[in-house]
Amino acid sequence: MLVRLTPDEIRVACHHAADRYANALARGAKPKVNVDQPEDRAATDFLSSMAEMAVAKGLNLYWSGVGGVGVTDVGNQYEVRSTTLPHGKLVISEGDKDGQEIVLVTCNPPEFNIVGCIYAREGKKNAYRFTNARGWCWMVPQEKLRRFKADQIKQPPSVGENTWLLDL
């Protein structure tokens, strides 16, 4: 499912990302030693915030933009993982709760492809285990993810498309 964010939606997501980034710097957060954490934390925060907004928009679910350990990303239901690689895999970390549903989004802003989802327990298989010098995780191929059904998608119009409402 392809979701296109408007400039206003990107701006909101980026405000949340900047806040996440500033808070992480202030508390001295260190990057994970894991393979799922790129070196550039700021880029990760910005891209992941936009991906979360795209999932919320695409599935018509609430997104607060609040980040943090133990806080579900979208609609009190989904954890969102993002990649800029069109055929990238969904990354599951050891700390992901088995019952958590995780969504993969491939990102090419302003367009975001919501590829599918999987429960963490289903993705924690030896066949998907990946190890390199930075650590290990599970990397689930896109073809193993459940796709969202057409009736689950209730994408509302973007606020940017109805800016006249703000003039009332």
Between 35 and 132, where is the model more confident? Answer: 132
Closest CA to 91 of 135, 45, 154: 135
Between 38 and 147, where is the model more confident? Answer: 147
Euclidean distance between CA atoms 135 and 18, whole angstroms: 27
* Predicted pLDDT at 65: 81
Helix (H, G, I), strand (E, B) or coil at 147: coil
Is residue 89 a contact partner of residue 139, using CB atoms and an 8 Å limit? yes
Report angle CA 83, 85, 30 to the nearest 5 degrees: 40
Query: Which H or E run contains 24?
Result: helix 7-26
Is residue 116 a contact partner of residue 146, using CB atoms and an 8 Å limit? yes
Q: What is the pLDDT of residues 67-120, one digit of tens each?
A: 666 678 898 899 999 999 999 999 999 889 999 999 999 999 999 999 999 999
Sort 155 into a burial class: Cβ within 10 Å, 0-12 / 13-18 / 19+. middle
* Predicted pLDDT at 154: 55
Q: What is the pLDDT of residues 122-131, one digit of tens each?
A: 999 999 999 8
